[in-house]
Amino acid sequence: METSVYVGTSLDGFLARKDGDIEWLEQFADEDAMRSYEEFMNKIDAIVIGRGTYEKVLTFPTWPYNKEVFVLSTSIKKVPDTLKSKASMLSGRPVEILNFLSGKGFSRIYLDGGKVIQSFLTEDLVDELIIATVPILIGSGIPLFGILKNDLQFNLIRTESFSNGLVRSYYKRERDPNRNMTGH
């Protein structure tokens, strides 16, 4: 079981404006960014999003995900009939969600949306962070990160930067530094 986050953020750490607007971010969605995101998505077998992301995505002209989607919500109980083969609703704590998905045979989980990401980070249940930072400060909005119980140390795997100003960094959670140090 591996959980991944792949997000675009402003330089001040926001995923979207308060009203969900991401126009400032979309100007950086060039061919390279799309290819990188597709490569990532090809390795994923299920997607977990929150209600906010779900409602945003419903306003898109087409359903953007090509893997099975699980929407975390306590208020919405079912998806429209047209989405029945693509998405289903779930509720529960992050560890319960992962146990459920594991039981269904999923092993590479993509977490999306500020609240979902924060709730899994709080439980130290995020294994991979891929963060594409765009060179703009927007001042306020929906934050990527939130309060934690403990510090979480990551390993930087690699960083890529692009002429449009986007910097993409790949991190893996460093869960047991002693094991890494003696593992060579």
Binding interface with a second copy (CB under 8 A): 11-13, 24, 121, 129, 131, 133, 135-140, 144-156, 158-159, 161, 165-167, 169, 171
Rounded CA-CA distance 28/35 in Å is 13
Shortest distance in whole angstroms from residue 32 CB to a second copy: 14
Q: Which neighbouring-strand residues pair with 16?
A: 142
CB 22 within 8 A of CB 16: yes
CB of 141 to a second copy, least distance (A): 10
Strand partners, 47: 69, 110
Nearer Cβ to a second copy, position 99 or 161?
161
Compute the least distance from the CB of residue 103 to a second copy, in Å: 29
Residue 136 C-beta: closest distance to a second copy, Å = 5
| C-alpha torsion 126→16→11→128, nearest 10 | 10
Q: Which residues contact 20 (CB under 8 A, 6 or more apart)?
A: 52, 56, 142
Residue placing its CB nearer to a second copy in the complex, 78 or 175:
175
Residue 9: name the closest of 137, 151, 100 by CA: 137
Q: Please identify, using beta-carbon distances, which residue of 10 and 53 lies nearer to a second copy.
A: 10
Cβ-based nearer residue to a second copy, 9 or 53 = 9
